[in-house]
Amino acid sequence: QIQLVESGGGSVQAGGSLRLSCVVSAYGYAIYYMAWFRQAPGKEREGVGTMYTPDGNTYYADSVKGRFTISQDNAKNTLYLQMNSLQSEDTAMYYCAAATRYSSMGRARNLQAAAFDYWGPGTQVTVSS
């Protein structure tokens, strides 16, 4: 069983920064990809970025490329999402997710939500203009 718990959300003005954390239990237990998704009210869930955990390679949605950075601290079993230059359009509930099936690796790389087996409860980010 893998459990994910996000934290670090809050309210910030446009142009500001936040860092989200996702503590992973059973980290390293056959997790191929870790990702961040977000969902705004009335909108579909959107992939923000994903990391291939064995080598740390990251891939981002065009909407956040150059502003958001995913990193991991294996000693703390934690995945991070550093968000800079935040905009009102970034307002959403943010979720971390883990993909454990080898057969889903391609879809996980492309930020398809169905490829991810485990999800955290989410943390809210609100950006005011």
Task: Report which of 88, 75, 91, 94 is spatially closest to residue 36, judged by C-alpha positions.
Answer: 94
CB 123 within 8 A of CB 20: yes
Give the H/E segment covering residue 119: strand 118-119
3-state helix, strand and coil shares in percent for the chain, rounded to the nearest 5: 15, 50, 40
pLDDT tens by residue, 27-55: 557 889 999 999 999 999 999 999 999 99
pLDDT tens by residue, 61-91: 999 999 999 999 989 999 999 999 999 999 9
The percent of residues above 90 in pLDDT, for the chain, comes to: 90
pLDDT at 29: 73
